[in-house]
Structure 1
Amino acid sequence: MGKNSATFLFLSVLGIWATLTSCGSNSNTGEAAESVTVGESRQETPTAVAEPTTVQETQESETPEIVEEKSQEEEKPEEEYVATFRFPNKWVNADGLGEGILQPLGDAALPTGFIEEEYLVTGEAISYVSADPVTSDGFWTVTEDSEAGYKTRMILRYPPADQFSGVVIVEWFNVTAGVDNSIDWSYLSEEIGRSGHAYVGVSAQYVGVMGRDTGRIPQGLIDTRGLPVRDPTRYGDLIHPGDSYSFDIFSQATVASLAILASPEYGLSATNVVAAGQSQSAGFLTTYANAVHPLVNIFNGFLIHGRGDGAPNPSVDESLENVLIRTDINVPVMIYETETDLTVLQYANARQEDTGNIRTWEVAGAAHADTYSITYPRGFPRQASIGAALGCDGLINDGPQHETLQAALHHFIAWVKEGIVPPAAPRIEVSMHDGLEIIRDEMGIAIGGVRTPPVDVPLRILIGDPGSSEGFCFLFGQTFDIDLESLQSMYPSLGSYVEVLEAAANESVTNGWLLPEDAEIMIEEETQRAEKAGLE
């Protein structure tokens, strides 16, 4: 399916508003309306809010009256949602303040030609409360509760205007480590760059702004003191009222980022905007999709990456188990799960069938976290021994999450833009009789799921089961080397290995589980690995 009508109208209105408000003003700063309601032929005219306080001179411009629009798609009978979105009070480009951007974890290098900027966003956020008891089916109804002030940050990474795809990917920063972590950027920056998407990372949660010592990270490895403490000149007045307000903060930051990008200075008017989040963030996005999305309709789709079975309730005062994505959701939802997610994080208890708007991939040989997530953002090659830096025993997982997640994103965006549903994938076989356990073949390789050459033509065994429980090591899976004698019995020569490797890669590409460019890189890397292992 294409974009839903409420979101289409939202982007149209936002584009008009951004163009008009930026005329005669510095688009590095902005002020906005309190709220706009679209859908069902109903729309409020926004009103100006308090005068912004900025770090640089700017001319003020009145918030214009927005002319009501109605798209033909809005006539579709299945579209029942009304979109009500709130703008932040103001935003300011943080360029020149303090020591520069305090990068989140996972800050992979910018793709060629991309520009990175950070904005500080201020507003009044609302919290939500459940109108009815929340149930595991995800059919949640919420009402607005209290309101509180906030000031947070968002990071924009975007291509030249002539290369822009029209897609903006907004990541909800993960905060499990006690600081912001841009996990999806670290895994997906290559595909984002070559496709020309724009990216926005949002510090939506309290810990992302104020920090927290989790006790799980080796001392001295990460500074968890919080943004205001680490750079008071740049971030000293940031404030966060708590995670119950994080859903609206995420919405408002998204709206601000789209207005910034759509301004004449940037020239990047979005045609589609999607939300992404991994692990803990994926849990919050599950709640957002079930409870908040039906109210605001800002996003054209959700990439739910590596979630467990649980999700916080809308008030974020407790977590519910076995939560599904509501099956009446009106935009595409791509769910991506690893072996670890199924068992350790118990997502197998929250599995649901694919529907017209929900697609799930479960990836064999992949772990919740792996070598790529540690090494690539730092410019290092993948090495399974890198887990020692985190205090992990043995070799951590060196599996194909990066490559398959890039394929998932590629298909997900085609789904959102053109209605081309991603390829279906078999589920990984899981025993649920005595706890949750991946069913494996005689070599220890998972049966079922998304298949790739490192799994089907193995040089080592890749699993998502934890090797140790130290810190976050239980999330990093394991890698087991195969000795040379066994490899030689499987592949009599290097040439015979390369032959089956290329066949497996071609099959994965045909199935849609690898992109051709990533398959080529994988063939090269696995061939080098075979040579290093001693195959001749």
Structure 2
Amino acid sequence: MTAQGQAVLRKLRGPCPMPAVEFDLAAVGYGETEMILEGTADSFLQVGQRGADGKWSARVGSTARYATRVIIRHPLEAQRCSGAFIVEWLNVSSGSDVSPDWTYLHRHIMRQGHVWAGVSAQRVGVEGGGILQGDHLKQAAPERYNALSHPGDAWAFDIFSDAGRMLRSTTGYSWPTPTYMLATGHSQSAAFLSTYINAIDPTARVYDGFLIHGWGGSGPRLDGFLTGGRGTDPERARRNLVANPAAIRNDARVPVVLLQSETDTLLMPSDRVREADSSNLRVWEIAGTAHGDSYLMSGGRDDGRLSAAALADIFAATSQPTIGALTLPEREVPINGAPQHHYVAHAALECLSRWAVGGSPPPHAPRLVHPLRQDNMGIAVGGIRTPWVEVPTATMSGAEGHALGTTRPFSDEVLHRLYPGGGEEYLIAFRTSLDSTITEGFLLEEDRTEILGLAVAALPAALRMPDNAVPLT
């Protein structure tokens, strides 16, 4: 593996053109710094069998030079820094670098004063040529990124290790060196991190914990997506992601939290990878959630200062989803608008943070019932139960509508039958369920006031309360 100190980080001048934050970071006390990471990385070869238990060994293959980028979001004042670095393996499924875990987690990251770093670990984000064709870095801003060079995904694992090593040693910037580092990745990035945990982390020993989010139960082989040389075959890439089912090893070196939506559990190739919790693994499956949802589409606007009504608009289930400047095809049924995905993700990160520095492990969570069963409201049985599924006003699902799930609002007749006392009865039941979920450890007390305000703002018209109603506390 690349020797510590062999890679270098250097700052890029001017603002980063992508990925963009949809609010003014400085207005909430954060800044953004873009860096070039360059060095020599190793590829790896499998040693022995690639067992379904994930307990793999690897040896160094060939080396290659690389130059990629790392984007860092950090408190403007060093004394606000918590000491934690949250390092995201940027996702390239769209053909360009995006940061879904920044979207889901940025409110809690900024509230705590954590530093976030997004790593362009994979070739697609830099050079293009992935499963989908997107706006990769060299295409988006050639004058800024033409000096970048990525040899291919076989080297992505060591590049991600290099990023962590160099971030640990950064001095002279607006942030102090970290006291601990957590790695995170969503969807395809979760798949790569599962391989990283199983084969690379036992000897690399760079990160203090992992948040694996939206994982389909398989991880790419160590040779990445390469078909030879530096080319990428999109069809082979697709097969590589789904054709290698394996567990996350139950003897992981450091704490791992696996955060799963309904959709993710259905993508699992077999029940055997829906593994049990172990000494360093917690699996959280959230009822009523999809792989992606309205918050993933619009949460980039959430700076932590929005009104409850504006937040309700972000979470609103839409039939015409947009992400950034991209409008997706109109849907017959609105996409999943479940707020619990975002807020449970906050709790997962907070629990992992405590666990990684020697605190108590996260709570064990009930699992979704498989084959997937639904209650009389059409909501999945089992899993982490939040107020949005225990005191529902709609059926929110990750079992249909592909990756973005569905929301089917209840009729006025159903709402009146469920809550004959109207909005007041609904909100009292919502608050009781919320407090229970906070006590269980799957939602955070810090989010309670905002969640209650959101519940009021998102009340269906049939349960709407008078403007002079007593606020929910």
The TM-score range, normalised by the shorter chain, is 0.7 to 0.9
**Structure 2 residue aligned with 1:427:** 367
Deviation of the 1:266 alpha carbon? 3.4
Residue identity (%):
35
Match of 2:407 in 1: 479
Deviations 1:172-196 (CA, angstroms, capped at 9, x unpaired): 0011111111010000001101111
Question: Following the alignment from structure 2 to structure 1, what is the Cα–Cα distance between the partners of residues 375 and 341?
Answer: 20
Contact kept in structure 1, 2:187 and 2:215, CA below 8 Å: yes
Consecutive unaligned residues in structure 1, runs of 5 or more? 1-32, 36-85, 216-222, 432-437, 468-473
Post-superposition shift, 1:418?
3.1
Post-superposition Cα deviations, 1:344-393, rounded to whole Å, max 9, x if no partner, equal: 35475411111110101000011100000001114562221154431133
Q: Where do 1:43-192 residues align within 5 Å?
A: 86-96=4-14, 100-104=15-19, 110=25, 112-159=28-75, 160-192=77-109
Question: 1:163 & 1:120 partners in 2: Cα distance?
Answer: 25
Residue of structure 2 equivalent to 1:75: none
CA pair 396-206 structure 1, distance change in 2 beyond 3 A: same
Deviations 1:1-27 (A, max 9, x none): xxxxxxxxxxxxxxxxxxxxxxxxxxx
SS at match of 1:269: coil
Partner of 2:471: none
CA deviation map 1:105-141 (0-9, x unaligned): 7767638211110001111111000111211111111
Other-structure match for 1:455: 389
Q: Where does the alignment leave 5 or more consecutive residues of structure 2 unmatched?
A: 226-239, 303-312, 322-326, 466-473
Residues 106, 182 of structure 1: 8 Å contact kept: no
Equivalent runs, 1:345-494 vs 2, <5 Å: 345-346=268-269, 348-378=271-301, 381-385=314-318, 387-388=320-321, 389-391=327-329, 392-399=331-338, 400-431=340-371, 438-467=372-401, 474-492=402-420, 493-494=422-423
The CA distance in 2 between the partners of 1:385 and 1:127, in whole Å, is 43
Is it true that 1:525 corresponds to 2:441 in the alignment?
no
Q: Secondary structure at the match of 1:91?
A: strand
How far off is 1:486 after superposition?
A: 1.1
Superposition CA RMSD, Å? 2.0
Q: Which of 398, 407, 430 matches 1:501?
A: 430
Work out which of the two has the higher radius of gyration on C-alpha atoms and give 1 or 2: 1
Aligned to 2:169: 259
TM-superposed CA distance for 1:163, in Å, is: 1.5
Kept after mapping to 2: 8 A contact 1:108/1:189: no
Q: 1:95 to 1:532 in 2, by over 3 A?
A: farther
Contact 1:108 1:376 in 2 (8 A): no
* Cα distance in 2, alignment partners of residues 106 and 450 from structure 1: 30
- SS of corresponding position for 2:318: helix
Distance 1:168 1:528, change over 3 A: same
Structure 1: which amino acid aligns with 2:121? A
Amino acid corresponding to residue 405 of structure 1 in structure 2? A
How does the TM-score come out when normalised to structure 2?
A: 0.86
Q: Does the 8 A contact of 2:81 with 2:175 survive in 1? A: no
Contact 2:183 2:211 in 1 (8 A): yes
Establish whether residue 340 from structure 1 lines up as the match of residue 263 from structure 2.
yes
Distance 1:347 1:209 in 2: 34
Instruction: Specify whether residues 246 and 213 from structure 1 end up closer, same or farther in structure 2 by C-alpha distance, changes over 3 A only.
Output: closer
Is the contact made by 2:319 and 2:332 (CA closer than 8 Å) also made in structure 1? no
Q: What letter matches 1:394 in structure 2?
A: V
Residue of structure 2 equivalent to 1:470: none
- For the structure 1 residues 232 and 487, does the alpha-carbon distance in structure 2 shift closer, same or farther, using more than 3 Å as the test? same
Aligned to 1:199, the other structure's residue is in SS state strand
TM-score (norm 1): 0.77
Listed one character per residue, the Cα deviations across residues 81-128 of structure 1 (whole Å, up to 9, x for unaligned) are xxxxx44433221113xxx31322776763821111000111111100
Aligned positions of 1:200-211 closer than 5 A? 200-211=117-128
CA distance in 1, matches of 2:139, 2:222: 29
Q: What one-letter code is carried by the residue in structure 2 that aligns with 1:90?
A: V
Give the corresponding residue for 1:199: 116
SS of the residue 1:171 aligns to: strand
**How many Å separate the matches in 1 of 2:22 and 2:60?**
34
Q: 1:169 is matched by which residue type in structure 2?
A: I
Question: The residue matched to 2:166 in structure 1 has which SS?
Answer: helix
Q: Which amino acid aligns with 2:210?
A: F
Q: Counterpart of 2:202 in 1: which secondary structure?
A: helix
CA distance in 2, matches of 1:486, 1:165: 47
Contact 1:150 1:241 in 2 (8 A): yes
The one of 282, 300, 324 equivalent to 2:208 is 300
1:443: how far off?
1.1
Going from structure 1 to structure 2, the CA distance change for 1:514 and 1:244 (only over 3 Å counts) comes to: same
Take 2:418 and 2:43, find their aligned partners in 1: how far apart are those partners? 58
1:533: how far off? Answer: 4.1
Once the two structures are overlaid, the 10-residue window that deviates more, 382-391 or 137-146, is 382-391
Cα 1:88–1:475 change in 2 (3 A) is farther
How far does residue 299 in structure 1 lie from its aligned partner after superposition? 0.7
For the Cα contact (< 8 Å) 1:307–1:347, is it kept in 2? no
